[in-house]
């Protein structure tokens, strides 16, 4: 029996009631709710679980970016520009195995012809990596003061898992922080598109007739626009001198205005198929108002599909935002997003010398894969009565 | 059938008119007009006084009719496009936007359509194969590939390819269509080969997502069809399995792919655009991006219109060909 969280009384008062309790138990296991069924099917799909964990992991890293980053997030030391990703070793130059991972000290040589600094490992000096170290002070969620960082090395050593960028910022820490903007932007944009899609979809499906025709023509019209070019041209006309928060909000709306059509069609289809069912007719016969029918009976039935499309819309917005910010017409400094961190890679020369400046892409790939897996798993699970 | 085509045509015309209006709105969105940009340019670069610059700006306004009301300007813009193929002035290039687009449109179309064709064919054939070997090693591998490639940022794939070509294989002419020795030569097979050498990354990047989608759609459809009773009948008649697949199953599984061509086309254009911007290959993509950065807004608006028009056209062709292909579609 899988159900372990069912409450079974320890002391059984009378044998006569035992049978009653057992029938009750038998009944509760038989009648699983819709979301229990969805969950049961969802957790059977390994990719979906992996996707969910990826998304949760990235979200935690974004929220607690100060903790995951070994350095203060606003720290930018120009002398540290373009340090390659630090290699974490277990075996030192003498072939001795260390139980605690360590990094070598950083030295650099300057090419006297080009004045390009090259960072090298100084194998004579060893800095062990320690966990939960004391470092720069910050506030968890902006409230609780703390100075602990997940990992770090002692003073004098440096650990940059993904290297540093032109301004000497630690790319790993910055990528964690960038998740805040990239993920909230995608989520916010998706929520707006869900709102538009749901309202139009329900209206279109429930009222039908001329309203339906007009809305469907409008959807067709919106679908004619190629997403990327329209996003780009709208993003480019946003005045650059606005403050970055306003640009953030506007960008989310820009992404939303072309993303709602799939959802609208799905919701409309669902509402159409439910509109003629007995339970809706019964509600109508009992004199329920339109809003009661829509909000209590119709819309909740489309929620699982809304959730699926929501999950699958997020990655498209993440990718688009990354591209636009990469081109410099998206998010503006001082906000950071994954795409914006990769901006310097636009220059092939810089890219050739410091290929690790592309590393924030790892976070983009993890996020997009995570949401895609999650959405795919949810799609299979959303209809738990279907035979697989 | 004819009335069906006619009706689709009428709808398309209305869609185009709407698209036109939105493109115009995009052109009008930035503060000031084309002449204002010109004035700032004259003051900054040509060291003119404000008065001189304003006079020059006003002359320009007269010449292009920017001093007229919005509606008149809009109608003039449309008239120019229809009657003379003039899309408005380009500030950075000092020429008509129509000419600029004309130079690049051909290449863009060739690349996008090549990506489209290749991704459709590859997607269909891989889809047919994996549907016959459900849950086999190759099926799982194909699904994983489809998933991963749909999740990689296309601009990053372009960066990786650019990096590899330049720094591993020492290919330095990646930002043009041809190597210098072929640039002015007449078309030949060698030149075509050189062309392909330069543009394959774009075709590949634009096509990758399409392969994944087509494969998944084809696999799903074919699996549905293979479960139908008439396929069992065909098999029990003693037909060879590949005949069952090619004659009976595949033709009926193809319809959704055709219906879906109109929606795939924008993906090809977007993929082509993203890759071309990063690699700097002079198709419509970089022209569009540069015009956005320099606020050369007539180019941006006109290109937006061209892209949307191509999608409308693609949908129209897909609808009509589906009408020919699938006799079950009703035309009323």
Residues 258-297 of B with CB under 8 A from A: 263, 266, 269-270, 273-274, 277-278, 288-289, 292-293, 295, 297
Tell me: pLDDT of A3 over 50: no
Read off the pLDDT of residues A233-256 as tens digits, 9 standing for 90 and up. Answer: 888 888 777 888 888 888 899 999
Contact B152/A at CB under 8 A: yes
Contact B147/A at CB under 8 A: yes
Contact B22/A at CB under 8 A: yes
User: Maximum distance among all alpha carbons in chain B?
Assistant: 90
Read off the pLDDT of residues A83-115 as tens digits, 9 standing for 90 and up. Answer: 788 878 787 777 777 778 888 877 777 777 777
Question: Closest chain B residue to A342 measured between Cα atoms?
Answer: B156
Read off the pLDDT of residues B52-64 as tens digits, 9 standing for 90 and up. Answer: 777 877 777 777 7
pLDDT for res B108: 86
At A1, the pLDDT band (50, 70, 90 cuts) reads very low
Candidates A178, A214, A224, A313, partner chain B, best to mutate (most B CBs within 10 A): A224
Read off the pLDDT of residues A188-233 as tens digits, 9 standing for 90 and up. Answer: 999 999 999 999 999 998 888 899 889 988 998 888 888 888 888 8
Read off the pLDDT of residues A124-151 as tens digits, 9 standing for 90 and up. Answer: 777 888 888 787 778 877 778 888 888 8
Mean of the per-residue pLDDT values for chain A?
Answer: 82
- The yes/no answer to whether this complex scores an ipTM above 0.90 is no
Tell me: pLDDT of B31 over 60: yes
Residues 165-194 of B with CB under 8 A from A: 166-167
pLDDT for res A190: 93
The mean pLDDT of B270-284, rounded to a whole number, is: 86
A348·B153 Cβ contact <8 A: no
pLDDT for res A23: 65
Candidates B30, B156, B171, B298, partner chain A, best to mutate (most A CBs within 10 A): B156
Q: How far is A228 from chain B (nearest CA, A)?
A: 6
């Amino acid at each position: 029996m899988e159900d372990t969280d069912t409450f079974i009384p320890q002391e059984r008062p009378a044998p006569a009631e035992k049978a009653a309790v057992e029938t009750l138990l038998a009944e509760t296991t038989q009648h699983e709710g819709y979301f229990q069924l969805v969950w049961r099917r969802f957790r059977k799909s390994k990719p979906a679980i992996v996707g969910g964990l990826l998304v949760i992991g990235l979200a935690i890293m974004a929220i607690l970016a100060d903790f995951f980053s070994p350095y203060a997030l606003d720290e930018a030391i120009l002398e540290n520009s373009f340090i390659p990703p630090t290699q974490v070793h277990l075996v030192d130059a003498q072939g001795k195995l260390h139980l605690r991972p360590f990094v070598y000290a950083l030295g650099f040589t300057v090419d006297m012809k080009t004045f390009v600094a090259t960072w090298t490992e100084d194998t004579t000096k060893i800095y062990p990596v320690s966990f939960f170290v004391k470092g720069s002070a910050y506030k968890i969620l902006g409230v609780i003061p703390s100075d602990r960082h997940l990992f770090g090395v002692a003073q004098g050593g440096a650990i940059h898992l993904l290297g540093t960028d032109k301004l000497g910022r630690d790319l790993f820490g910055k990528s964690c922080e960038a998740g805040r903007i990239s993920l909230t932007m995608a989520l916010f944009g998706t929520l707006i598109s869900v709102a538009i899609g749901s309202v139009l979809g329900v209206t279109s499906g429930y009222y039908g007739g001329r309203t339906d025709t007009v809305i469907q023509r409008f959807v067709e019209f919106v679908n004619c626009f190629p997403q990327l070019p329209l996003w780009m041209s709208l993003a480019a006309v946003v005045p650059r001198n606005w403050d970055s928060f306003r640009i953030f909000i506007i960008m989310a709306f820009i992404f939303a205005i072309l993303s709602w059509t799939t959802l609208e069609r799905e919701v409309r289809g669902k509402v159409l198929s439910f509109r003629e069912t007995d339970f809706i007719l019964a509600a109508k016969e009992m004199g329920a108002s339109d809003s009661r029918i829509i909000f209590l009976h119709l819309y909740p039935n489309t929620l699982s599909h809304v959730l699926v499309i929501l999950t699958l819309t997020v990655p498209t917005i993440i990718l688009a935002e990354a591209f636009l910010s990469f081109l410099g017409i998206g998010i503006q400094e001082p906000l950071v997003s994954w795409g914006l961190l990769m901006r310097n890679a636009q220059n092939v020369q810089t890219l050739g010398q410091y290929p690790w400046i592309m590393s924030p892409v790892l976070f983009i790939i993890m996020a997009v894969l995570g949401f895609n897996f999650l959405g795919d798993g949810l799609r299979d699970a959303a209809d738990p009565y279907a035979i697989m | 059938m004819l009335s069906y085509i006619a009706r689709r045509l009428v709808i398309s015309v209305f869609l185009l008119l709407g698209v036109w209006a939105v493109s115009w709105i995009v052109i009008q969105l930035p503060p000031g007009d084309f002449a204002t940009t010109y004035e700032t340019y004259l003051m900054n670069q040509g060291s003119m006084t404000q008065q001189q610059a304003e006079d020059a700006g006003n002359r320009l306004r007269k010449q292009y009719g920017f001093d007229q009301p919005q509606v008149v300007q809009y109608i003039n813009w449309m008239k120019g496009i229809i009657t003379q193929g003039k899309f408005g002035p380009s500030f950075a290039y000092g020429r008509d936007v129509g000419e600029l687009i004309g130079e690049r449109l051909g290449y863009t179309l060739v690349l996008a359509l090549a990506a489209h064709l290749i991704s459709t064919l590859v997607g269909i054939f891989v889809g047919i194969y994996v549907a016959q070997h459900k849950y086999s090693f190759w099926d799982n591998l194909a699904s994983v590939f489809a998933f991963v490639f749909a999740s990689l940022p296309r601009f990053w794939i372009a960066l990786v390819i650019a990096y590899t070509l330049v720094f591993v294989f020492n290919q330095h002419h990646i930002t043009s269509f041809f190597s210098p020795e072929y640039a002015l030569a007449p078309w030949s097979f060698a030149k075509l080969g050189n062309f392909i050498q330069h543009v394959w990354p774009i075709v590949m990047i634009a096509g990758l997502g399409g392969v994944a989608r087509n494969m998944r759609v084809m696999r799903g459809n074919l699996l549905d069809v293979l479960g139908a009773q008439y396929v069992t009948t065909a098999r029990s008649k003693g037909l060879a399995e590949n005949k069952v697949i090619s004659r009976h199953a595949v033709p009926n599984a193809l319809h959704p792919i055709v219906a879906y061509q109109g929606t795939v086309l924008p993906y090809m254009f977007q993929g082509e655009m993203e890759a071309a911007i990063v690699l700097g290959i002079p198709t419509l993509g970089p022209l569009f991006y540069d015009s956005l950065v320099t606020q050369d807004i007539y180019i941006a608006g006109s290109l937006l219109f061209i892209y949307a028009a191509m999608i409308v056209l693609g949908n129209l062709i897909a609808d009509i060909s589906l009408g020919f292909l699938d006799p079950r579609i009703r035309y009323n």
